[in-house]
Structures are given as C-alpha cells and as structure tokens.
C-alpha cells in the first residue's frame, strides 16, 4: 500500500513539474512566481504546514545562468593581476616569517577572497567624485596583505612598505597588520580587526549616510557601503543582532559580502550543517536581498541537465564538513564519495573527468558569478543586500594550505611549496627568487599595470583612501555658555539638566545647530531630553505615518524624515555605531558632525568598550555622556545599574578625555573647549563626561577660577575662612559627591578645623600630565626640579588631603605619587546596592561622617588630634568600626 502511495506521489510530482515547466515557458518567470505564491498561500490557508519552508532555497546559485550578465572585463588579464596580488600578498607574509622575528601574518583569508576583491576593484568600488557620493569599502582584516599588494601594484605603496609589513616603526615606513586608520590615516578608512564590529559599524554608516541625505546635509548622489566579512565572524552577535535595522531603514546602499570559505581559525564553521543555508534563513527572515553564489560556471551545464533534481538533492544533502573534505581530496575520491549509492548521479557526472571534478570551482572564485551577484546587489531596490559567497580557504595555496584546518595560521611554506605556488600562479621568477618569496613587480608599461590603473581611473581613483575633508569650524566664543557660568541661584538642578540645556542651546545655534547629532538609546525621558523631540524631531526615514498618542502635548513624540535626534531604542551596540558614524563624518563626508551620545553610564564602556576602542582607531570625534552615573548617586537601582568604575574603563583609551564635573560652569567649560579642540583645532580626541541626576544649586564660576584650570582637571574651589588653626584639611571632590564634601566641610569647620575645597573634574588629565613630566625627567629632557600640575597646586599647602568620589578608589589613587604624604582616598569599590542615596554613601564610606573620620585620623597621625577625639567623633556619629568592607561584601 505504502509503495502504491509512493508511486502515485512520484507520478503526481512528475506531472506537476511538467506543467510547471510549461507555465515557465509560456507565461514567464514573473507569472510563475506569482502563481507559486498564490498556491503556497492557498495551501497554508488549507492547513498545510509550509511556514518557514520558504526561508531556504536550494543549495545552488540564486542567479540562474540565464540571468547572468555578460562579463565586461578582460578576465584573462584580470586573472593575471589577481595572481600577482596573490603572490605578493603571500610573499609579504613569508618574508615577515623569514625575518625570524615572529611577526606573524595571514595568507589563507586573502587567498579565499582575492577573486571577489578583484571584481570589486575592476568593476564596482567607486571613489567619491564631484557627482558621486563614493563607496566605503571595508575589507576582512586578515586579507590586509592582499589589499596592500594591490595598492603596491597601483603604485601607492613602495616595496619598502611591503617589506616592512608588521614593522610599522621602520624608519622608511611600514604597514600595520590590519586595517587601522589611526596607524595609516591616509589609507585605511574604517577599522575591522575586532571581528563582528564591522557589520554593525557599516550598517550604521549606511544609515548615517541616509540620515545626512534626508536632512539635506549630503547630496542624494549615491555612495555604497561594501562590507566584506568572514563566515566564522558571522557568529558574533552584533552583526546578526542588527540585521533588522538595515531593513527598517531601507538601506539599499549597503552590500554585505560574507566570504563563506566554511572555515574559521580552528576548523569548520558548521561541519555538521551548512553555514550558507543557515545565514540565508536569517537574512531572508529579516527581509534582506539574499544572493547565494555557490557554484562556478563549470556546474552550469550539469545543473541544466539535472531535470529531476538529483544533483541539487545531493548538493542539498552534503554537509559543510563534506565540502571542506572535497577541497583537499583527489578528483577520483571526490567522485566516489559524491555519487556513492546514487547510480543516476553517477551517470550524470560521467561527462566530467576526475581532474574536472577536482578542479571545479566554487562560485566565489568565478568572476562571472561574482560579477552577477555584485551587479544585482548594487542596484538599489529599497533593501539591503547580502551575498553569501562560497570559497575555499587558502585557495591557490595548493597542498600547503588549501582547505586545511590549519590553514588560517599558516605563515610559512617550504622552498618547494613556494616554487610550486609561483608556478601555479604564473609568476615569471627564478626558482631561487621564488624560494626567497621575492616580490614580483611588473613594469609600469606592462599590460597588467596599465589595465588596473585604467580601471581605477574609470572608477574615480584608488580605494581605500582616507581623507579629512571637513574644514575647521569657527572657534566658539568665550561667552557662548555664559548663562551656565553664572550659576543657578537658588534653583537646584542636576548636571544632566544642565547638559540638556547646553544641547538645546547648541541645537538652536545658527552656525552649529545642524551639525549636532543627539543620540539616545531608549532613555530620553530618564534624562529629561523628551523636550527635544518636538523641536528637533526624531529621525525616521519614512516620516510619521501614524498619529502619535501624545499629539496634543507640547513635547509629543515627533518622528520625521529630517529629524535630527537618533533614537536608537534599547540597542547600545547600534547607538555606539551611530556615534562612530557621526563622529567620523568629518572624514567620510566632509561634515563636522558633533555627536552627543548620552547613555546610562554603566551600559557604556562595560557593554560596548570594544566599539569605543574602534572609535579611537577610526579617530572618531564627539561626546559620550555617562548619565545617571555614580555608584551612590544613582540610588535604588542596585548591582547592575550603579556605576562606580566607568572612569577607570574610559581612562585606558589613549585619546579620550574623561571628566566628572560637579557644576554647571565646569560642564559648559569642558564642552566648549571640547568642541573647539575637536572641530576648530581638529585634534583627534573624544570625550567621556559623566553627568548625574542629583539636584543641587549650581554655584557661579568663582572669580579666581580660570577655564584653563577646569580643563586641566584641578582647582581650588573654596579657601578656608581662616588659617588660624594648625589643623588643616584639604578635601578633593568631584561629580555629585561635592555635596558630601560641602557637608563634611561644615562639620570640620564646626570642630575648629580649617578646610580648603578642591574640585577635581579630571583625575586622569592630572595623571597624564604628571606622567609625561616624569617621562621627560627620565629622558633628561626636563629638569628634575620641574613640578607637575598636581605638585604646583599642593606643594605649598600644609595639612592633610582627602579625595572622595563616587568612583572606585583607584581613580583618586592615580595621582597619589605626586600628592603630599598625608593623602587618603575614599571611593566606592564594590557592587552597587538597592538603597537610598544617603544609606549608600554610608555603606561605601563616602558620606560626610566618613570624610571627617578620615580627616581626623590623618590629623591624628600628624599629632594634631588625639585618639580620644577621634573616638568621641565615631561614637557621637554612630560609626560602626566593625562594619564589613563594602568592596567585598
């Protein structure tokens, strides 16, 4: 019976396929597609379970050979160029290896990607010109040797550069391992070495391009973002996690090419599965244009003859682990494994010799297939495009590396392997030179060089090339923020409120307003920024297609095509990628865009620290604001919200300025100075500034305090009323904790102890200045008598010194070396606790009574206070001397 059903099914299937063929021939593909769609929907309505099935297509090229465009290039010559690049790229790594210095390098990644890069270079990657926006191309980091090799052929790099691959500090110039704009600011445009970040970075670069166009700041004259990534790299969550935004924002200027060589560093990406099919599902599900490039042209004829789908069925069933194995086996072995127990397939394959079976290409090594996919993706259709390109890792390395699990790390080849590679690649070189891995330099007049230069000229010039296109802005006047310098009178406010007012003021500025980019994850209301919605609008490419629920309110949720605010939703990775895109627009688009990204401070460096590091690499500018900061100032929220360490994390970014301001005037001074330094003086720095949600009255800038002191990080805020007492205490405060300092000051003065109050907006700036002076002293370029800023301020002061902040003690300790001997630091080491502000401050021992206790103890050491006096203080103020250490408990 079952056999009967099976037979009937087979007959039905044949009949249906025959009818379908007729429909394709008679009605054409479009109508056939519509018919199948309606059949599908009908079947689903009838209860047939088809949902999800549509997210995978067969394991063949998406573009049928019949739709393949004519290849416009001279493929023979292009292949020669590719082979020279392959050789020189390999030679760079081998020479670095031969030097014996263990410099490392990678051959296999570029070997798998060389053909697609060549097609890109010869036909697609278009430079910015007067009428074209310009393509941003991001390359796989480990393919860098190939990109250098091409720049060498284009005459942009010298042979010394190539020889000094991974020797950046060579006097005659060297090359960094991977794409690092910071290390090669005239060449690399965007960093990609930390895998996974480039996907999200480029999605947001493409979005920011559209943002600039929709806001009328950039012409709508094209410009694509081409992103090349590895299939192993696709496991990084940042890329897949932000796929939807590319569709929502209709990023048809984005082309993601996944180099599916089926291998990562250690071995197969999906030995037991199929990475291409898995990615196809994810991308199709998200709504991208998906193009699979799997098979080379040699398979076309076989696939055409495969009327019953036997071959495709086999292709569907083979696993990536099998395909990887086929790349290293002999043709005979591949065939026997491929056709095992399948006589019909064996028959179909008989037209190919074993050698043909072995050398049959994967699509990613076939110019025609690559070109067809690139051409399709480069045509805007309202959606982002992904190309899943199947290749062989180490292609062309022969037995030395092709398809092997160890190929990623392969940096050396034997003399014979080198000679074999040169022969295979057709490099006209003596065996002796090949064994030494000498570079091959075709003459300037050679066909190869002429062709490649002509192609690049036609496409506008060389890529990558980084430029700094933006003109410096006018310096901001000294009084731009004078209202903030005057203080808030009786009115209590937080530094966050001050920040929002500064941003509003900047947004309204006629010169600068258009360049300000407020970036907020889903926290605008937390920071009191919702007032900006109405005035500046939230960027939304489709505008506002619905009536907002709060339309009748003053600060309604206004979305608009030319909105200025980037509302990122709960996506810190996306928000920081927007920051990166805005903060690098000065270079990529010639626009001095100034991002102000404000976030919950604990969800900054600790969540997206690597992206911030990449921002540093890309010389991104702008302001990061850690909102609701301070371990005890953010009360109630507990362990995962209360941040007492972001300043430590930010301190490791070499070109980042970190500030923890206490007062409105400090914030205004720092922001003004920051804009001037970054956009007028064009310094390659960026800022991290913490702001808090604690309200207090903002004092006016005292007359004796200069802007310069604030920027340098330290100034005396208040002198003690009298200097009569020998007992002298200096309290160093920052951020909101200044309120605790003021209280402690009162208590100490009441005890007859004189107090000076110092504000320390930046411990880090002080430390950096002092470290540089120390360095100069060691080098002998500075006299041993010279004093650091810290020493200049404190060396004439007597007494004891207490630093107190809402951050871990290592922040205050970072200046200890230059402080007078009696220096003690209070801070908030330990996990946060859900508690009230005052209880938290007692818990972390930074409240007024703990500040006073520390002062008394230090004075006791100086013999100015007795132990009995300190004891009496602890008793009257209920200090539990057996309290557990909050740093541990």
What residue ranges bind ligand TPP (CB under 6 A)?
Answer: 109, 112, 140, 142, 193-196, 230-233, 259, 261, 263-265, 269, 393, 408
For Mg ion, which is the closer residue by CB, 229 or 435? 229
Taking the complex as a whole, the smallest distance from the CB of residue 261 to ligand TPP amounts, in Å, to 5
In the numeric block, which tokens belong to residue 513? 């307003």
Taking the complex as a whole, the smallest distance from the CB of residue 779 to ligand TPP amounts, in Å, to 35
Q: Which residues contact 24 (CB under 8 A, 6 or more apart)?
A: 32
For ligand TPP, which is the closer residue by CB, 364 or 644? 364
Taking the complex as a whole, the smallest distance from the CB of residue 236 to ligand TPP amounts, in Å, to 7
Binding partner of residue 194 among ligand TPP, Mg ion, none, CB cut-off 5 to 8 Å per kind: ligand TPP
Taking the complex as a whole, the smallest distance from the CB of residue 110 to Mg ion amounts, in Å, to 12
User: Cβ distance 86 to 98 under 8 Å?
Assistant: no
3-state secondary structure of 247: helix
Question: Rounded to an integer, what distance in angstroms lies between the CA atom of residue 361 and that of residue 327?
Answer: 10
In the numeric block, which tokens belong to residue 372? 């067809």
Tokens 């010109």 correspond to what residue? 129
For ligand TPP, which is the closer residue by CB, 288 or 613? 613
* Angle (CA) 580 582 584, round 5°: 65
Binding partner of residue 196 among ligand TPP, Mg ion, none, CB cut-off 5 to 8 Å per kind: ligand TPP
Which strands make up the sheet holding 754-759, listed edge to edge?
715-718, 754-759, 728-733, 800-804, 823-826
For Mg ion, which is the closer residue by CB, 365 or 438? 365
Q: What are phi and psi for residue 169, nearest 5 degrees?
A: -90, 10
Beta strands 696-697; 492-493: pairing state: antiparallel
Taking the complex as a whole, the smallest distance from the CB of residue 153 to ligand TPP amounts, in Å, to 22
Interacting stretch for Mg ion, rule CB under 5 A, among 143-151, 224-232, 277-285, 519-527? Answer: 224-232
Using CB atoms within 10 A of its CB, is residue 285 exposed (0-12), middle (13-18) or buried (19+)?
A: middle
Binding partner of residue 501 among Mg ion, ligand TPP, none, CB cut-off 5 to 8 Å per kind: none
For ligand TPP, which is the closer residue by CB, 265 or 813? 265
Taking the complex as a whole, the smallest distance from the CB of residue 236 to Mg ion amounts, in Å, to 13
**Nearest residue to ligand TPP, using CB?**
230
> Does 324 engage in binding with Mg ion (CB under 5 A)?
no
Taking the complex as a whole, the smallest distance from the CB of residue 231 to ligand TPP amounts, in Å, to 5
Q: Is the dihedral of CA 825, 831, 837, 838 positive or negative?
A: negative
Q: Which residues contact 575 (CB under 8 A, 6 or more apart)?
A: 519, 520, 521, 566, 568, 597, 599
Binding partner of residue 284 among ligand TPP, Mg ion, none, CB cut-off 5 to 8 Å per kind: none
Binding partner of residue 233 among Mg ion, ligand TPP, none, CB cut-off 5 to 8 Å per kind: ligand TPP
* Angle (CA) 175 179 185, round 5°: 70
Taking the complex as a whole, the smallest distance from the CB of residue 394 to Mg ion amounts, in Å, to 10
- 483: number of Cβ within 10 Å: 15
Binding partner of residue 837 among ligand TPP, Mg ion, none, CB cut-off 5 to 8 Å per kind: none
For ligand TPP, which is the closer residue by CB, 109 or 740? 109
Binding partner of residue 195 among ligand TPP, Mg ion, none, CB cut-off 5 to 8 Å per kind: ligand TPP
409 to each of 267, 281, 400, 405, how far by Cα in Å? 11, 31, 12, 9
For ligand TPP, which is the closer residue by CB, 149 or 195? 195
Of residues 118, 231, 238, 842, which one binds Mg ion by CB under 5 A?
231
Tokens 């309110």 correspond to what residue? 553
Binding partner of residue 140 among ligand TPP, Mg ion, none, CB cut-off 5 to 8 Å per kind: ligand TPP
For Mg ion, which is the closer residue by CB, 137 or 279? 279
Q: Where are the beta strands (DSSP E) in 35-135?
A: none
Q: Where are the beta strands (DSSP E) in 131-263?
A: 136-138, 225-230, 254-260
- The string of DSSP codes covering 265-278 is SSSBSSTTS-HHHH
Taking the complex as a whole, the smallest distance from the CB of residue 268 to ligand TPP amounts, in Å, to 10
* Angle (CA) 241 242 244, round 5°: 110
Binding partner of residue 756 among ligand TPP, Mg ion, none, CB cut-off 5 to 8 Å per kind: none
Binding partner of residue 771 among Mg ion, ligand TPP, none, CB cut-off 5 to 8 Å per kind: none
Taking the complex as a whole, the smallest distance from the CB of residue 195 to ligand TPP amounts, in Å, to 4
For ligand TPP, which is the closer residue by CB, 90 or 764? 90
Binding partner of residue 161 among ligand TPP, Mg ion, none, CB cut-off 5 to 8 Å per kind: none
Question: Rounded to an integer, what distance in angstroms lies between the CA atom of residue 449 and that of residue 151?
Answer: 11
Of residues 134, 223, 232, 627, which one binds Mg ion by CB under 5 A?
232
For Mg ion, which is the closer residue by CB, 270 or 647? 270
Q: Which residues contact 46 (CB under 8 A, 6 or more apart)?
A: none
- 347: number of Cβ within 10 Å: 11
Taking the complex as a whole, the smallest distance from the CB of residue 645 to ligand TPP amounts, in Å, to 23
For ligand TPP, which is the closer residue by CB, 264 or 466? 264
Give the closest residue to 158 by CA, choosing from 178, 140, 172, 145.
172
For Mg ion, which is the closer residue by CB, 179 or 627? 179
Taking the complex as a whole, the smallest distance from the CB of residue 261 to Mg ion amounts, in Å, to 4
Tokens 């530094």 correspond to what residue? 495
For Mg ion, which is the closer residue by CB, 231 or 842? 231
Taking the complex as a whole, the smallest distance from the CB of residue 187 to ligand TPP amounts, in Å, to 20
For ligand TPP, which is the closer residue by CB, 80 or 142? 142
Taking the complex as a whole, the smallest distance from the CB of residue 193 to Mg ion amounts, in Å, to 15
Size of the site for Mg ion (CB under 5 A): 5
Reading phi first (left if > 0) and then psi (alpha if -120 to 50, else beta), residue 826 is in: beta
Dmax of the chain from CA atoms?
A: 111
SS (H, E, C) 791-809: HHHHCCCCCEEEEECCCCH
Beta strands 656-659; 516-521: pairing state: unpaired
Taking the complex as a whole, the smallest distance from the CB of residue 317 to Mg ion amounts, in Å, to 22
Interacting stretch for Mg ion, rule CB under 5 A, among 226-234, 336-344, 437-445, 492-500? Answer: 226-234
In the numeric block, which tokens belong to residue 462? 């060389």
For ligand TPP, which is the closer residue by CB, 409 or 504? 409
Tokens 């310094």 correspond to what residue? 683
- 420: number of Cβ within 10 Å: 17
Site map (CB under 5 A) of Mg ion, residues 670-709, x = contact = ----------------------------------------
Binding partner of residue 692 among ligand TPP, Mg ion, none, CB cut-off 5 to 8 Å per kind: none
Strand-pairing partners, residue 291, are 387
Q: Where are the beta strands (DSSP E) in 455-605?
A: 492-493, 516-521, 538-539, 559-560, 566-569, 594-600
Binding partner of residue 193 among ligand TPP, Mg ion, none, CB cut-off 5 to 8 Å per kind: ligand TPP
For ligand TPP, which is the closer residue by CB, 393 or 456? 393
> Does 230 engage in binding with Mg ion (CB under 5 A)?
yes
Q: Using CB under 5 A, which residues numbered 244 to 273 contact Mg ion? A: 261, 263
3-state secondary structure of 260: strand
For Mg ion, which is the closer residue by CB, 232 or 595? 232
> Does 364 engage in binding with Mg ion (CB under 5 A)?
no
Question: Rounded to an integer, what distance in angstroms lies between the CA atom of residue 1 and that of residue 4?
Answer: 5
Taking the complex as a whole, the smallest distance from the CB of residue 611 to ligand TPP amounts, in Å, to 11
Taking the complex as a whole, the smallest distance from the CB of residue 143 to Mg ion amounts, in Å, to 11
Q: Which residues contact 390 (CB under 8 A, 6 or more apart)?
A: 260, 261, 262, 276, 292, 293, 294, 295, 362, 363, 364
Q: Which residues contact 347 (CB under 8 A, 6 or more apart)?
A: none
Residues that bind Mg ion (CB under 5 A): 230-232, 261, 263
């Amino acid at each position: 019976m079952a056999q009967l059903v099976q037979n009937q099914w087979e007959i039905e299937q044949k009949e249906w396929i025959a009818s379908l063929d007729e429909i394709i021939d008679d009605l054409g593909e479009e109508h056939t597609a519509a018919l199948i769609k309606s059949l599908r929907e009908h079947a689903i309505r009838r209860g047939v379970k088809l949902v999800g099935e549509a997210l995978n297509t067969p394991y063949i090229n998406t573009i049928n050979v019949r739709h393949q465009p004519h290849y416009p290039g001279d493929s023979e010559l292009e292949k020669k160029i590719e082979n020279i690049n392959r050789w020189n790229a390999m030679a760079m790594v081998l020479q670095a290896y031969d030097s014996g210095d263990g410099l490392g390098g990678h051959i296999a990644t570029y070997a798998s990607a060389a053909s697609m890069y060549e097609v890109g270079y010869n036909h697609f990657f278009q430079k910015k010109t007067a009428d074209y926006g310009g393509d941003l191309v991001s390359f796989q980091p480990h393919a860098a040797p190939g990109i250098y090799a091409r720049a060498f052929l284009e005459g942009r790099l010298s042979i010394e550069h190539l020889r000094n691959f991974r020797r950046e500090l060579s006097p005659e110039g060297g090359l960094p391992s991977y794409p690092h704009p910071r290390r090669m600011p005239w060449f690399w445009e965007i960093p990609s070495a930390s895998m996974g970040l480039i996907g999200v970075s480029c999605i947001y670069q493409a979005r920011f391009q559209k943002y600039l166009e929709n806001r009328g700041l950039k012409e709508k004259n094209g410009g694509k973002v081409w992103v090349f990534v590895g299939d192993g790299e696709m496991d990084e969550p940042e890329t897949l996690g932000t796929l939807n935004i590319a569709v929502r924002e209709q990023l048809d200027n984005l082309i993601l090419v996944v180099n599916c060589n089926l291998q990562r560093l250690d071995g197969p990406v999906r030995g037991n599965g199929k990475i291409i099919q898995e990615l196809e599902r994810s991308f199709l599900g998200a709504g991208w244009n998906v193009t699979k490039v799997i098979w080379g042209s040699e398979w076309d004829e076989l696939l055409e003859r495969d009327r019953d789908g036997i071959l495709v069925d086999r292709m569907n069933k083979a696993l990536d682990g099998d395909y990887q194995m086929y790349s290293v086996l002999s043709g005979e072995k591949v065939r026997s494994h491929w056709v095992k127990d399948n006589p019909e397939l064996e028959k179909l394959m008989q037209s190919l010799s074993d050698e043909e079976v072995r050398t049959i290409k994967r699509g990613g090594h076939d110019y025609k297939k690559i070109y067809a996919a690139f051409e399709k993706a480069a045509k805007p259709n309202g959606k982002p495009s992904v190309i899943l390109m199947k290749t062989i890792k180490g292609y062309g390395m022969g037995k030395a590396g092709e398809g092997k699990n160890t190929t990623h790390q392969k940096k050396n080849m034997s003399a014979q392997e080198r000679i074999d590679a040169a022969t295979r690649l057709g490099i006209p070189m003596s065996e002796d030179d090949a064994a030494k891995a000498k570079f091959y330099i075709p003459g300037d007049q050679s066909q190869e060089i002429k062709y490649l230069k002509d192609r690049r000229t036609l496409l506008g010039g060389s890529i990558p090339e980084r430029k700094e296109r933006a003109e410096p802005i006018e310096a901001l006047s000294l009084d731009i923020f004078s209202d903030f310098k005057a203080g808030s009178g009786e009115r209590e406010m937080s530094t966050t409120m001050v920040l929002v007012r500064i941003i509003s003021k900047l947004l309204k500025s006629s010169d600068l307003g258009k360049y300000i980019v407020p970036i907020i994850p889903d926290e605008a209301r937390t920071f009191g920024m919702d007032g900006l919605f109405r005035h500046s609008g939230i960027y939304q490419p489709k505008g506002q297609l619905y009536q907002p629920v709060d339309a009748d309110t003053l600060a309604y949720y206004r979305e608009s095509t030319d909105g200025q605010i980037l509302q990122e939703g709960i996506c810190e990775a996306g928000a920081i990628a927007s920051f990166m895109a805005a903060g690098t627009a000065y270079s990529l688009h010639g626009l001095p865009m100034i991002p102000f990204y404000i976030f919950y401070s604990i969800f900054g460096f600790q969540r997206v620290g690597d992206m911030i590091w990449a921002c540093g690499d890309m010389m991104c500018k702008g302001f990061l604001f850690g909102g609701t900061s301070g371990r005890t100032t953010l009360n109630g929220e507990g362990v995962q919200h209360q941040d007492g360490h972001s300043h430590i994390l930010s301190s490791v970014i070499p070109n980042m300025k970190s500030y923890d301001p206490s007062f409105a005037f400090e914030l205004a001074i720092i922001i003004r100075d920051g804009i001037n330094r970054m956009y007028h003086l064009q310094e390659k720095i960026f800022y991290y500034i913490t702001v808090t949600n604690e309200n207090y009255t903002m004092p006016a800038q005292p007359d004796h305090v200069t802007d310069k002191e604030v920027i340098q990080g330290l100034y005396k805020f208040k002198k003690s009323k009298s200097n009569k007492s020998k007992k002298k205490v200096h309290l160093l405060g920052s951020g909101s904790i200044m309120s605790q300092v003021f209280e402690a000051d009162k208590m100490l003065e009441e005890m007859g102890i004189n107090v000076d109050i110092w504000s320390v907006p930046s411990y880090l700036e002080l430390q950096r200045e002092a470290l540089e002076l120390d360095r100069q002293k060691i080098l002998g370029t500075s006299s041993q008598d010279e004093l650091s800023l810290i020493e200049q301020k404190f060396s004439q002061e007597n007494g004891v010194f207490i630093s107190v902040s809402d951050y871990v003690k290592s922040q205050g300790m970072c200046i200890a070396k230059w402080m007078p001997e009696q220096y003690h630091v209070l801070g908030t080491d330990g996990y946060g606790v859900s508690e009230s502000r005052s209880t938290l401050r007692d818990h972390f021992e930074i409240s007024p009574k703990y500040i006073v206790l520390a002062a008394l103890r230090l004075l006791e050491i100086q013999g100015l206070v007795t132990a009995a006096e300190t004891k009496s203080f602890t008793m009257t103020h209920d200090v539990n001397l057996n309290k557990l250490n909050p740093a541990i408990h």
